[in-house]
Amino acid sequence: MTVEYNLNSTANYYPVVSAIAIRDDSTKTQMTVMNDRAQGGSSLKTGRIELMQNRRLFADDARGVGQALNECDDRGVGITVPATYYMQFVFGTNEGDASLQRIVQQRVD
């Protein structure tokens, strides 16, 4: 993922359907976060991963929806979204190596 740092953070969020990873090429270490639902994700700073678990806006952001994204339950309380995350650290991998993440993700699914 190439992050454009001159844009705002919302321009650098991408769909994460099953996993997002960061890799340190100097140590050949990779950290993967696997999620159980589609989310927005990014790596806005080196060595960090962000996942948007529940986006909530109290006013329209003028990005096409035409309304605030403020989902509430029957009591007027903002909804919560339970999620499960799995983290995997792999040390000493090469870029062409088979993905252990795919094997774990298949077992999780």
Which pLDDT value is given to residue 45? 86
Three-state SS for the chain is CCCCCCCCHHHHCEEECCEEEEEECCCCEEEEEEECCCEEEECCCCCCCEEECCCCCCCCCCCCCCCCCCCECCCCCECCCCCCEEEEEEECCCCCCCCHHHHHHHHHC
pLDDT per residue as tens digits for the range 21-60 = 998 888 888 899 998 888 899 988 888 999 987 777 778 7
Q: Residue 97: pLDDT above 70?
A: no
Q: Residue 7: pLDDT above 70?
A: no
Domains of the chain, residue spans: 9-54+83-108
**pTM (2 decimals)?**
0.70
